[in-house]
Amino acid sequence: MPTVDAKPAPFTFDTDSTVLLVIDMQRDFLLPGGFGESLGNDVSQLSRTIEPLSVLMAAWRAQNLPIIHTREGHEPDLSDCPPSKLARGGIGEQGSFGRILIRGEYGHDIVDELQPLPGEPVIDKPGKGAFYATDLADILDKFGTKKLIVTGVTTEVCVHTTVREANDRGYDCLVLADCVGSYFPEFQRVGLEMIAAQGGIFGWVADSPAVIAALQEQK
Ligand code: TIU
């Protein structure tokens, strides 16, 4: 079985029961001119994940292993957006890439470099966590999933929420430091430390080259 050099301990996974999860790599979070940047954020802290993640996805796909993508967003009529989230502004308003975080809009979709292939599930989620109000749990069951390799943005928001949800559901989660990003370097550092602290309180942390090396060694 592939074994990855990880914190706080090596992470071993079976390729038959491990899914690569790619969280919210959407234009509105990642690209200059998008929603994230309009809030004053430095999107380069997120866009640096695109290159290593595209390399990892290629290695994962080369072995016909499953990838699941998520997107945060809402119906055009905002019926699935809690008033409390709406009240904080942005959602549904006109941005430079269309209505912000509305399904079907250009900014809501995934960046060109990481577009899903036909057959790879794309989970549209209204919240930060990928399990809340989605069919992710059913899809993971169908794949026979036991472990998740987690990537995407942002580290302390949608990645953390999803990893915490997954951990409580019994999935072992390996989070890849070079393939997750926060607008805030301090949150990136502490967010990753939180996961692996206390003996891996809700997961493991490694870098993507270690996963690729582990995949290649087990061939
Ligand atoms: N995907 C995700 O993390 N959504 C966010 O709202 N992130 C922020 O950091 N705002």
Model confidence over 184-211: pLDDT tens digits?
999 999 999 999 999 999 999 999 999 9
| C-alpha to C-alpha distance for 218 and 87, rounded to whole angstroms | 50
Check which CATH number belongs to the domain holding 120 and give it: 3.40.50.850
Indicate the number of domains in the chain.
1
Question: Which residue segment(s) compose the domain that 88 sits in?
Answer: 3-217
What pLDDT does 107 receive? 98
pLDDT tens-digit series, residues 23-81: 999 999 999 999 999 999 999 999 999 999 999 999 999 999 999 999 999 999 999 99
158 is catalytic: yes
Q: How confident is the model at residue 219 (pLDDT cuts 50, 70, 90)?
A: low
CB 14 within 8 A of CB 49: no
pLDDT tens-digit series, residues 13-26: 999 999 999 999 99
| C-alpha to C-alpha distance for 41 and 155, rounded to whole angstroms | 14
**For the residues 99-114, what does the mean pLDDT come to?**
98
Mean pLDDT of the chain: 97
| C-alpha to C-alpha distance for 106 and 58, rounded to whole angstroms | 24
Q: Which atom of ligand 1 is nearest to the CA of 158?
A: 3
Q: Which amino acid belongs to residue 187?
A: F
CB 184 within 8 A of CB 151: no
pLDDT at 83 over 90: yes
158 lines ligand 1 (CB under 6 A): yes
Distance 213 CA to ligand 1 centre (A): 30
Beta bridge partners of 123: 70
- The CB-based long-range contact list for 73-76 (8 Å cut-off, 24+ gap) reads 73/26, 73/101, 73/102, 73/103, 73/108, 73/124, 73/125, 73/126, 74/101, 74/102, 74/103, 74/126, 75/102, 75/103, 76/102, 76/103, 76/104
pLDDT at 218 over 80: no
Q: Which amino acid belongs to residue 92?
A: G
Q: Which of 27, 47, 72, 165 to mutate to test the pocket of ligand 1 (most atoms within 8 A of CB)?
A: 72
